[in-house]
Amino acid sequence: MNSMSAKRKGIMDIRQILLLKIKGYSNRKISGEIDVHRNTVNEYVRLFDAAPKSYEELLGQNDKELESMFTRKSNINCSRYDELSSQFNYFRDELKKPGCTRQVLWQLYIEKHPNGYQRSQFNEYLYRWLKETKSSGKLHHKAGDKLYVDYTGKKLHYVDRETGEQIEVEVFVGILPCSQLTYVEASQSQKQVDFISSVSNCLEYMEGVPQAIVPDNLKSAVTKASKYEPTLNKMFKDFAMHYGCSINPTRSYSPQDKALVESAVKLVYQRIFYPINEMTFFSLEQLNTELRRRLESYNDYLLTTTQVSRRHQFQTIERPFLSALPRSPYEIKTFKQATVQKMGYVFISENRNYYSVPYRYIQKKVELRYNQKMVEVYYKQERIALHPRSIKRGQYVTIADHLSSTHKFYQNWSPAFFEKLAIPHGLHVQAYVKELIEQAQYPEIAYKQCLGILRLGKDCGSDRLDKACLRAGGLHRKGYHILKTILENRVEDQPNEVKTEQVHIPPHNNVRGSKYFKNIVSLLF
């Protein structure tokens, strides 16, 4: 009930509520019995409980005395109330701090003012004041408890200098609900890497880490949304572990969880988006520089309800309750599933590199976790391999102990290794092997074909293989099966058929030539 005066009941209703409370009725049952809204009954019962008299004593008073007890003017026209109300702003700020309760505040109050209000009256007057100043909702947000993050629905853009194209960008918003300190940043997309980077920059801006980060059900944060137990993205969970906080996504179909950040987004539209509406930016960096400048003014703006800024509330109330930032920012880590190949390696496609795994895990499904520096391989949550990340493409990164005696042959695989093996079979075989490896998209595929080609040399003889490589060398594509077909059909000694290149359109009378068109142009102009 926002205002007692707006819902004040007649003296008979007040007496009925008192009478039914004496009989032991619940507030809900009283509401049904006398057809008065339950919130109104709750409010009157709260006032009865705050009074220094029992229900029976209140019911024994005359109408004028009873009615006067529930008029606000009777509260504010006394010095004791003025003394209490002068501390309401302080009480509101203290309630935002973890561990502070109204009981604690009343004890502090009564120690300084022994003749002050008792606990029930203290709670009632503080409750009324908080409702009048519309601050009661904020009491749910403790200092340093949560950081809400989301993207704005509307996008900003910058202009490509060369093409003049407008490139749309996403706008990330983070807000600490207790102090309402806000962070805004533009990014190229909502993808995992951009999202994680924005959250990291937000924590750096706020110079601390809250107990929990509360994202909307973004794909970059939540793999599977759920009202009760959403499945979090592994990269985001790893990010949270690095910063020592938890992830608590907003509940699906629960708009009240998103109300605060959505309200902040509306203010961002008014105070930041609109003022830069007519400005032109030629890079994402330029846009973010202007956003940061506007953000400083936004956080220094005085709030209507408290007449203090978001930054002031953050510095005085919330900042002491944030955890310290880690020594280094989070490094983006990729999580992927893979199957250990028969040779005892796992493949990372970004650089087309292979990393060894203990041979007993061959054909097992494992999880890869890697960043720019290290590659980790996990099997059933146990790390089974750790390698430095290779920058060069097509490398085999090997730990010798990972390979069994039958697999250690593979650790020497390289273009030079196979070229050397091809030398005894002839110069044409060596050249063919070299070209095959160079044209292959994946080194491992080429290496396996090289093994097959060398095997053909053992089965058919080096001389025949060398001739087959000479004949197949002129073909655009190289491969094991081409040589195998030549040898099976015993055509390695036959010369290649040279096909003369034919003109697709032979000369004929209908081809007019360029002079014809020049004459046509001169006649027209």
428-476, pLDDT tens digit by residue? Answer: 999 999 999 888 765 666 887 898 899 998 889 999 999 999 988 888 8
Nearest to 150 by CA among 118, 121, 127, 182: 182
Q: Is residue 161 part of a domain?
A: yes
Q: What is the pLDDT of residue 131?
A: 67
- DSSP 3-state assignment of 135? coil
Q: Is residue 267 part of a domain?
A: yes
Say which residue the tokens 């890079």 belong to. 283
- DSSP 3-state assignment of 369? strand
Instruction: Kindly tell me the burial class for residue 447, based on how many C-beta atoms sit within 10 Å of its own C-beta (0-12, 13-18, 19 or more).
Output: buried
Q: Whole-angstrom Cα distance, residue 396 to residue 412?
A: 9
The structure tokens listed for 490 are: 């015993």
Q: Is residue 417 part of a domain?
A: no
Cα separation of the two ends of the chain:
87
Q: What is the pLDDT along the chain (525 residues), one digit of tens a residue?
A: 344 433 556 777 788 888 888 888 888 888 877 777 777 788 788 777 777 678 888 888 877 777 766 654 444 445 677 778 778 777 777 776 666 788 888 888 888 888 888 888 788 778 777 765 554 444 457 888 889 998 998 999 999 988 889 999 999 999 998 888 999 999 999 888 899 999 999 999 999 999 888 887 666 555 544 444 444 567 888 888 889 988 877 655 455 556 677 788 888 898 899 889 889 999 999 999 999 999 999 999 888 767 789 999 899 888 888 999 998 888 888 888 999 987 788 999 888 888 999 988 988 999 999 988 899 999 988 999 999 998 888 788 888 788 765 555 665 677 888 888 899 999 999 999 999 988 876 566 688 789 889 999 888 999 999 999 998 888 888 888 899 999 999 888 887 664 544 545 555 555 555 555 555 445 444
Quote the domain boundaries for residue 443: 423-525
Q: Whole-angstrom Cα distance, residue 204 to residue 409?
A: 50
CA-based radius of gyration for the chain:
39
pLDDT tens, residue by residue, 351-385: 888 899 998 898 899 999 998 889 999 998 899 99
Q: Is residue 329 part of a domain?
A: no
Which CATH number covers residue 316? 3.30.420.10
Q: Is residue 418 part of a domain?
A: no
Q: Whole-angstrom Cα distance, residue 17 to residue 28?
A: 11
For residues 312 and 231, membership in a common domain is answered with: yes
- Among 412, 433, 465, the domain-final residue is 412
For residues 182 and 308, membership in a common domain is answered with: yes
Query: Which helix (DSSP H) or strand (DSSP E) does residue 449 occupy?
Result: helix 443-460
For residues 380 and 511, membership in a common domain is answered with: no
- DSSP 3-state assignment of 385? strand
- Among 264, 287, 321, the domain-final residue is 321
For residues 346 and 452, membership in a common domain is answered with: no
Q: What is the pLDDT of residue 256?
A: 53
Q: Whole-angstrom Cα distance, residue 222 to residue 171?
A: 19
Q: How many of the other CB atoms lie within 10 Å of CB of 253? A: 8
**Strand-by-strand arrangement of the 396-397 sheet:** 345-348, 353-356, 396-397
pLDDT tens, residue by residue, 42-66: 878 877 777 767 888 888 887 777 7
Q: Whole-angstrom Cα distance, residue 244 to residue 207?
A: 14
For residues 219 and 173, membership in a common domain is answered with: yes
For residues 220 and 268, membership in a common domain is answered with: yes
Query: Which helix (DSSP H) or strand (DSSP E) does residue 464 occupy?
Result: helix 462-472
For residues 131 and 153, membership in a common domain is answered with: no
- Total domain count for the chain? 4
Max Cα distance, the chain (Å): 126
Q: Whole-angstrom Cα distance, residue 456 to residue 513?
A: 55
The structure tokens listed for 2 are: 């926002």
Q: Is residue 115 part of a domain?
A: yes
Q: Whole-angstrom Cα distance, residue 160 to residue 442?
A: 36
Query: Which helix (DSSP H) or strand (DSSP E) does residue 79 occupy?
Result: helix 79-85
Q: What is the pLDDT of residue 99?
A: 64
Q: Is residue 356 part of a domain?
A: yes
Q: Whole-angstrom Cα distance, residue 312 to residue 458?
A: 82
What angle is formed at CA 352 by the lines to CA 341 and CA 342, rounded to 5 degrees? 10
Q: Is residue 327 part of a domain?
A: no
The structure tokens listed for 179 are: 């102090």
Where b means 16+ CB within 10 Å and e means fewer, 72-98 reads eeebeeeeebeebeebbeebbbbbbee
Q: What is the pLDDT of residue 405?
A: 56
For residues 367 and 427, membership in a common domain is answered with: no
Instruction: Kindly tell me the burial class for residue 207, based on how many C-beta atoms sit within 10 Å of its own C-beta (0-12, 13-18, 19 or more).
Output: exposed
Are the C-beta atoms of 342 and 364 separated by less than 8 Å? no
For residues 94 and 179, membership in a common domain is answered with: no
For residues 166 and 308, membership in a common domain is answered with: yes
For residues 516 and 408, membership in a common domain is answered with: no
What angle is formed at CA 331 by the lines to CA 329 and CA 332, rounded to 5 degrees? 135
For residues 118 and 171, membership in a common domain is answered with: no
- Among 262, 291, 321, the domain-final residue is 321
- Non-local (6+) Cβ contacts of 524 within 8 A are none
Q: What is the pLDDT of residue 230?
A: 47
